[in-house]
Structure 1
Amino acid sequence: MAATVKYDEVTVGQAIPAVEFPVHRVDLVKYAGASGDFNPIHWNERFAKSVGLPDVIAHGMFTMAQGGRFVTDWAGDPAAVVDYGVRFSSMVVVPDDDKGAVITVSGIVEEKLEDKRVVVVLTAKSGDSRVLSKARAIVQLS
């Protein structure tokens, strides 16, 4: 677990180092079971390609969750994400091999608010593609 990030120790413009989140097809099957989203574009290569996709793709909400995980891992306990939003800008293509895909998330503290809250702007990429845009979280720190 990460050390607790304290509001008084955070500065505007502070970079939050990138973290890589590996994604394999089994992760998508597990996510489908947890979310109830069994759309075959997320697990069936033949179907995904038949509808014009390059391969199986990760669920958008799975991708968004990795950004949320990045923020909560950074902030530590007892911090809380009080607001979080993104736009989906590209797909995370997950090939059926040992490498799978990787979602790389980094952040910058954009603003310090009242009540020990900070705004964190995220960058999330898979390969050369930005997969989340307008990604930002408001985090309650201690």
Structure 2
Amino acid sequence: MHTASEQAMASVGRHYRLIDHYEVGREKIREFARALQDGHPAHWDEGAAAELGFAGLVAPLTFSSIVLMVMQRRMFESTLTGYDLGQVLQAEQAIEVHRPIIAGDQVRCDCYFESFRQFGDKDFLVIKNVLSNQHKEMLQTAHSTAVAQTGSDLAADLRGVVEGVIMTGQSAADRLDTATLRTTEADTGVVECFEEPAQYNLPEGLPRPWTVPAFTELSVGMELAPRTVLLSRGDLVNYAGVSGDSNPIHFSDVVARSAGLPDVVTHGLLTMGLGAGYLTSWLGNPAAVTKYAVRFAGFAPVQATEASAIEFHGRVKELDPARRAATIALTATCAGRKLFGRATAEVLLH
């Protein structure tokens, strides 16, 4: 039996693909927008989406995390079985948007393991995921850095408390038993690809997004109006169900404290999604963001009986007159704690 780290090292340079596609539904888009407290009309009303030039509801920017979570879960069930899901966290996420995801898209996912490194008792895995649709159009390219705690003492203690509360069928023992029983690629949900990297088409003919602020209204250093979002334990549980991220540090006090955290904490991708909503609310158009990257610096603890307030701020960092594009630097804090080590977005303006 290989260790988790050996499994990860052996995966570098390999290419995997989800066997089945993920079909994007109208109600799932609304459900995800609700979980992010994102009221932009294009997520809810087909007429509003049509006004922006799209044939169906437009998914929030980080909707792709649902598909990425499916791919991650399949990989941990079939290839990276040595890791405990309760010990794996997102350290960094970067998304390049080629075309917004819309209702009716049948999303395919190709996963490329790019690198693996160790620092002390932590493993860092860098993975590229390419999302495309049934027309072989590229939708998003996402780079993720996952970090896993592998220290034997902490791992043993944490594994014990995780096993009792993790979603049924997701414990380390369950995953190992299931992996042993699986005999075909169809059982695992993923297939390893040995041919040249998949070929995709870049979407053509997309209209330049209309935005509330015009490019000429911006200046370097300009501050965006701040926004405060409240998150309760109910919000965390709802997001866990909607997104598929069932890591128990987001709902179990016992697991969170065993992992060295002060309390149950927010999902990193939830705060990233809230930041995207803050940005697209200012822009007035969820299709105006072309790149969005966050390096996570901390978590927002959420008490059992009181919601936590997350404050978002934005600032115009750079302007590109030739492309009428701007780079926006974002910050997110909770009770003075920085949640983003670095967060930037590239946006197009009219």
Q: When the two structures are superposed, what TM-score results if normalisation uses the length of structure 1?
A: 0.92
8 Å CA contact 2:228, 2:311 repeated in 1: yes
1:36 has 2:244 as partner: yes
Question: 2:288: which partner in 1?
Answer: 80
Unaligned runs of 5+ in 2: 1-39, 41-210
1:107 counterpart (314, 317, 323): 314
8 Å CA contact 1:89, 1:130 repeated in 2: yes
Unaligned runs of 5+ in 1: none
Question: 1:16: which partner in 2?
Answer: 224
**Residues in 2 aligned to 1:61 and 1:67: alpha-carbon distance in whole angstroms:** 10
Give the C-alpha shift of residue 72 in structure 1.
0.5
**Residues in 1 aligned to 2:293 and 2:349: alpha-carbon distance in whole angstroms:** 18
Q: How many residues align?
A: 140
Question: 2:302: which partner in 1?
Answer: 94
The answer to which structure has the higher strand fraction is: 1
**Residues in 2 aligned to 1:135 and 1:97: alpha-carbon distance in whole angstroms:** 30
Deviation digits for residues 16-52 of structure 1 (CA, Å, limit 9, x no counterpart): 1211011111111111112111111101112212332
Q: Who wins on radius of gyration, i.e. which is larger? A: 2
The answer to which structure has the higher helix fraction is: 2
RMSD: 1.5
Higher RCO (C-alpha 8 Å, min separation 6):
1
Question: 1:141: which partner in 2?
Answer: 349
8 Å CA contact 1:58, 1:92 repeated in 2: yes
8 Å CA contact 1:78, 1:141 repeated in 2: no
List structure 1 runs of 4+ shifted beyond 4 angstroms: none
8 Å CA contact 1:4, 1:78 repeated in 2: no
Q: Percent identity?
A: 37
Give the C-alpha shift of residue 15 in structure 1.
0.6
**Residues in 2 aligned to 1:79 and 1:40: alpha-carbon distance in whole angstroms:** 33
